[in-house]
């Protein structure tokens, strides 16, 4: 008998787990009306942005790619979002950061301790998943890339989802594994339909730094480290590499540990939105079935 597992974070009238502005939380209101002698109530949700909570990024999310893939979300075939998926366990990557965060996911390093902050920043490079590591994760699932429609990366970070706003450097949820160029190329060569991650995004977390963060403001060496690191990488390289080849990206998934290193039957179809220009991202409630 199959078990159905919800892989989404619910939407509440609260801010999503992010470090954006707090004025974009969903707001629910009701309108009363009457037609043909029958009274009815219609609900209205404002600020329900398409990249809040669990969602899919489409190529149009990167403006430079929008012209290359101009079709609305509803023009994608339904089978793009359904099929056999490999859940790859990369949680050992984030375990290397455990000493820098407390049990609540807050940065536990004294922001004035320059050496400790530099050590933390230097450790972020260990989050990278290269091609060989990707292949090893796939081997543990027992199925080649050509036999699945997509891959989901289990980081274990979804347990840290909170309906709150944090500083980009402060909360562990924003520090998760990311793909190297050769790993992205391996996925592109397999012509996958999509990838997904149970964290904020599948990118080098250093790109979330802009030089105004408190640890950087207090430590000149840390500020210089981030400046040089940002100067040597392409920002949102995973988004560009994957979305640029029409491989869609699920973000903020809620993946339970019992499905890691397993094959699942995945369903993650978005709403049939054919609004002109609606090709950036879409809310979704994905689920999977496992035997």
Per residue in 142-164, pLDDT tens?
888 999 999 999 999 999 999 99
Domain that holds residue 264: 3-290
Is pTM beyond 0.85 here?
yes
Give residue 35's pLDDT band: very low, low, confident or very high (50, 70, 90).
confident
284: domain CATH number is 3.50.30.50
pLDDT for residue 246: 95
Cα separation, 149 vs 86, whole angstroms = 9
Sign of the Cα torsion 190, 7, 49, 101 reads: negative
Q: How far is CA 215 from CA 102, 122, 225, in A?
A: 17, 14, 12
Give the total number of structural domains in the chain.
Answer: 1
Kindly tell me if the per-residue pLDDT of 24 is higher than 90: no
Distance CA 121, CA 82 (A): 38
In tens, the pLDDT along 91-109 reads 999 999 999 999 999 999 9
Q: Are strands 150-154 and 194-197 parallel, antiparallel or unpaired?
A: parallel
**66, pLDDT greater than 70:** yes
Question: What does the DSSP assignment read for the chain?
Answer: --EEEE-SPPP-SS--SBSS-GGGS-EEEEEEEEETTEEEEEEEEES--TTSSSEEE-GGGSHHHHTTS---GGGS-GGGGEEEEEEEE-HHHHHTTGGGB-TTSBB-S-TT-HHHHHHHHHHGGGGEE-HHHHHHHHHHHT--GGG-SEEEEE-SGGGG--SSB--TTTBGGG---EE-HHHHHHHHHTT-SEEEESSS-SS-GGGG--S-SHHHHH-HHHHHHHHHHHHTS-TTHHHHHHHTTT-EEEES----GGGTTEEEEEE--------TT--SEEE---EEEE-
Tokens of 216: 């950087």
**Calpha distance 118→83 (Å, rounded):** 43
Other CB atoms within 10 A of residue 180 CB = 18
Does residue 70 carry a pLDDT above 90?
no
């Amino acid at each position: 008998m199959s078990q159905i597992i919800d892989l989404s974070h619910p939407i509440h009238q609260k801010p999503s787990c992010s470090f954006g502005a707090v004025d974009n939380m969903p707001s629910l209101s009701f309108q009363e009306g009457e037609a043909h002698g029958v009274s009815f109530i219609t609900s209205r949700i404002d600020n329900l942005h398409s990249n809040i909570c669990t969602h899919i990024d489409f190529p149009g999310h990167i403006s430079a790619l929008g012209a290359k893939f101009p079709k609305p979300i509803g023009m994608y075939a339904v089978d793009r979002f359904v099929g056999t998926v490999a859940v790859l366990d990369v949680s050992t990557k984030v375990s290397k950061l455990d000493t820098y965060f407390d049990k609540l996911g807050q940065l536990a390093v004294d922001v004035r301790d320059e050496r400790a902050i530099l050590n933390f920043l230097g450790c972020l490079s260990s989050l990278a998943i290269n091609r060989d590591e990707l292949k090893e994760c796939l081997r543990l699932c027992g199925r080649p890339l050509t036999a699945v429609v997509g891959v989901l990366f289990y980081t274990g970070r979804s347990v840290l989802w909170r309906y709150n706003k944090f500083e980009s450097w402060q909360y562990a949820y924003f520090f998760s594994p990311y793909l190297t160029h050769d790993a992205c190329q391996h996925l592109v060569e397999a012509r996958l339909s999509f990838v997904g991650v149970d964290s904020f995004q599948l990118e080098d977390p250093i790109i979330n730094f802009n030089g105004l963060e408190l640890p950087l403001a207090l430590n000149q060496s840390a500020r210089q480290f981030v400046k040089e690191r940002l100067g040597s990488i392409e920002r949102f390289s995973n988004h560009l590499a994957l979305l640029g080849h029409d491989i869609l990206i699920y973000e903020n998934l809620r993946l339970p540990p019992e499905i890691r290193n397993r094959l699942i039957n995945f369903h993650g179809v978005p709403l049939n939105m054919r609004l002109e220009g609606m090709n950036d991202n879409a809310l979704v409630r994905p689920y999977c079935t496992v035997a």
